[in-house]
Chains A and B, each alone.
Chain A
Amino acid sequence: AQSVTQLGSHVSVSEGALVLLRCNYSSSVPPYLFWYVQYPNQGLQLLLKYTSAATLVKGINGFEAEFKKSETSFHLTKPSAHMSDAAEYFCAVSGGSQGNLIFGKGTKLSVKP
Chain B
Amino acid sequence: ETGVTQTPRHLVMGMTNKKSLKCEQHLGHNAMYWYKQSAKKPLELMFVYNFKEQTENNSVPSRFSPECPNSSHLFLHLHTLQPEDSALYLCASSQGILGPFNYGYTFGSGTRLTVV
With a 10 A CB-CB cut-off, give which of B33, B45, B108 has the most chain A CB atoms.
Answer: B45
Q: Evaluate contact between B104 and A101: CB separation under 8 angstroms.
A: yes
Residues of A near B109 (CB, < 8 A) are 41-43
Residues of A near B105 (CB, < 8 A) are 44, 46, 101
CA A32 to CA B106, docked complex, whole Å: 16
Size class of the contact patch on chain B: 20 to 34
A98 sits at the interface (CB 8 A): yes
**B contact face: mostly helix, strand, loop, or mixed:** mixed
Shortest beta-carbon distance, A105 to chain B, in Å? 5
A12 sits at the interface (CB 8 A): no
CB within 8 Å for A103 and B101 given contacts A43-B109, A45-B2 = no
CA A14 to CA B4, docked complex, whole Å: 34
Q: 8 Å CB contacts to B: which residues of A55-109?
A: 90, 92, 94, 96-106
Residues of B near A27 (CB, < 8 A) are none
CA A32 to CA B33, docked complex, whole Å: 19
Residues of A near B61 (CB, < 8 A) are none
A34 sits at the interface (CB 8 A): yes
CA A105 to CA B38, docked complex, whole Å: 10
Shortest beta-carbon distance, A66 to chain B, in Å? 18
Residue of chain B at shortest CB distance from A6: B42
B100 sits at the interface (CB 8 A): yes
Residue of chain B at shortest CB distance from A88: B37
Q: Evaluate contact between B97 and A45: CB separation under 8 angstroms.
A: no
Residues of B near A97 (CB, < 8 A) are 56
Taking a contact as CB atoms closer than 8 A, the residue among A42, A49, A99, A106 that contacts B97 in the complex is: A99
- Residue-wise interface mask of A (17-40) relative to B, using a CB-CB cutoff of 8 A (1 in contact, 0 not): 000000000000000101010000
Which residues of B come within 8 Å of A, CB atoms?
A: 2, 4, 6, 9, 31, 33, 40-43, 45, 48, 55-56, 90, 92, 97-110, 112
Q: List 18 contacting pairs A-B, 8 Å CB cutoff, sorted by A.
A: A32-B100, A32-B101, A34-B104, A36-B104, A41-B9, A41-B109, A42-B109, A43-B110, A92-B104, A96-B45, A97-B56, A98-B55, A99-B98, A99-B99, A99-B100, A100-B45, A100-B48, A105-B40
